[in-house]
């Protein structure tokens, strides 16, 4: 589905992706569909091509966060795999992503068969990713320039919500827009690292919370940026 592996890609990057998948397995990722998606998506194409390209290409398949422009980073592959696994995506799930960034997590969700809505507050990144994702075959996501704190009420409720930036608190609008029975993954904390929270909506205003360890994210900022 989606991205077509070319001969050149196969030769240069297939092996690197296989090794990354092995690393993720060793770190505890079990969901076969998540591993297949990561084994397929050309992560090396998602970076800011204006910074030191060869150096980045070398690191594209190591478990690192790397620059994507506008002062933002692509999440660690382990973080992407972890959040996606915990979301327990079923084909057809309606998923809201907060923080599109370069669209790597968006591509993983599409490969899992989700119907994806994704919000980005940085205009430059939004404009870049809006062109880039369809360019490499990922046309199905609905990408929105906006403030993720407010969610996207017009398409609510969502079966799953994934926040890919560190939030100081859980935005109330996101709690409202999650479907009953739905799951939200959100990193909480304003310091060096954030605590991954898994929320299950068990009733219209009832939630069960699990805390799943420390991760590092860029901050979830208020309001849209003009550039």
- With contact defined as beta carbons under 8 Å apart, do 103 and 129 qualify? yes
The contact pattern for ligand SAH, residues 54-73, with x = CB under 6 A and - = no contact, is ------------------xx
Nearest alpha-carbon partner for 134 in 113, 111, 103: 103
Binding residue for ligand SAH, selected from 102, 110, 112, 199, defined by CB under 6 A: 102
The vertex-67 CA angle with 63 and 69, nearest 5°, equals 155
Q: Where are the alpha helices (DSSP H) in the chain?
A: 7-26, 32-40, 53-59, 77-87, 104-111, 123-135, 172-177
Residue in 62, 75, 118, 205 annotated catalytic: 75
Q: In the range 125-184, which residues lie near ligand SAH by CB under 6 A?
A: 125, 147-149, 164-165
Residue nearer to ligand SAH on the CB measure, 50 or 206: 50
Quick one: which of 121, 128, 160, 201 contacts ligand SAH (CB under 6 A)? 121
Is there binding between residue 101 and ligand SAH (CB under 6 A)? yes
Residue 77 as a binder of ligand SAH (CB under 6 A): the answer is: no
Question: CA-CA distance, 94 to 114, in Å (whole number)?
Answer: 6
Size of the site for ligand SAH (CB under 6 A): 23
Q: What is the DSSP letter of 167?
A: B
To the query of whether residue 75 is one of the catalytic residues in this protein, the response is: yes
- Phi, psi at residue 76, to the nearest 5°? -55, 140
Which residues are identified as catalytic? 75
Residues that bind ligand SAH (CB under 6 A): 72-75, 98-99, 101-102, 104-105, 119-122, 125, 147-149, 164-165, 218, 220-221
């Amino acid at each position: 589905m989606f991205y077509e592996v070319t001969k050149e890609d196969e030769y240069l990057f297939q092996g690197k992706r296989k090794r990354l998948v092995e690393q993720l397995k060793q770190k505890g990722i079990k969901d076969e569909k998540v591993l297949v998606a990561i084994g397929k998506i050309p992560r090396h194409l998602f970076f800011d091509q204006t910074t030191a390209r060869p150096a980045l290409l070398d690191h594209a398949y190591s478990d690192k966060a790397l620059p994507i422009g506008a002062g933002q980073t692509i999440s660690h592959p382990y973080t992407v795999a972890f959040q996606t696994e915990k979301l327990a995506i079923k084909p057809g799930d309606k998923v809201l992503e907060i923080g599109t960034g370069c669209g790597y997590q968006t591509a993983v969700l599409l490969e899992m068969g989700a119907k994806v809505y994704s919000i980005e507050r940085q205009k430059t990144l939004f404009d870049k990713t809006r062109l880039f994702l369809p360019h490499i075959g990922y046309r199905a996501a609905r990408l929105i320039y906006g403030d993720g704190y407010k969610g996207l009420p017009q398409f609510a409720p969502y079966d799953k919500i994934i926040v890919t930036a560190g939030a100081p608190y859980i935005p109330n609008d996101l709690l409202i827009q999650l479907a009953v029975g739905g799951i939200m993954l959100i990193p909480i904390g304003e310091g060096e690292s954030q605590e991954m929270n898994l929320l299950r909506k068990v009733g219209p205003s009832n939630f069960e919370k699990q805390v799943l360890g420390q991760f590092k994210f860029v901050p979830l900022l208020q309001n849209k940026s003009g550039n």
